[in-house]
Amino acid sequence: MKIKDSYWIGILIGLVVCVACYFLLSLIPWGEAYTRAPYLLAFIPGIILFRMSLVKWDLERCGKGILIVNIIGLLLVFFLIK
């Protein structure tokens, strides 16, 4: 199945992957010192998916949408999570 190359599809894919990974990582009992760990580790699959969409699948707009979600999400984590 061919995925349409669109920014909106990339944003949607990036959100779904990051939220799903966050919920999986929140099941792990993290200590008090690692409060940001599940938030930051949830963005790693998005970064891998970003690279694969640009290099392997040749979906430039979709990859840029995934990158937008990762950058905005990481900035929100650093500035809003204490």
Q: What is the pLDDT of residues 14-73, one digit of tens each?
A: 999 999 999 998 888 877 777 778 888 899 999 999 999 989 888 899 999 999 999 999
Closest CA to 67 of 25, 18, 23: 18
In the numeric block, which tokens belong to residue 63?
């990859």
User: Is residue 49 within a helix (H) or strand (E), and if so which, with residue range?
Assistant: helix 44-55
62: number of Cβ within 10 Å: 26
pLDDT classification of 1: cutoffs 50, 70, 90: low
Stated pTM of the model = 0.84
Summarised one tens digit per residue, pLDDT across range 2-18 is 778 889 999 999 999 99
- In this structure, how many other beta carbons lie within 10 angstroms of the beta carbon of residue 49? 21
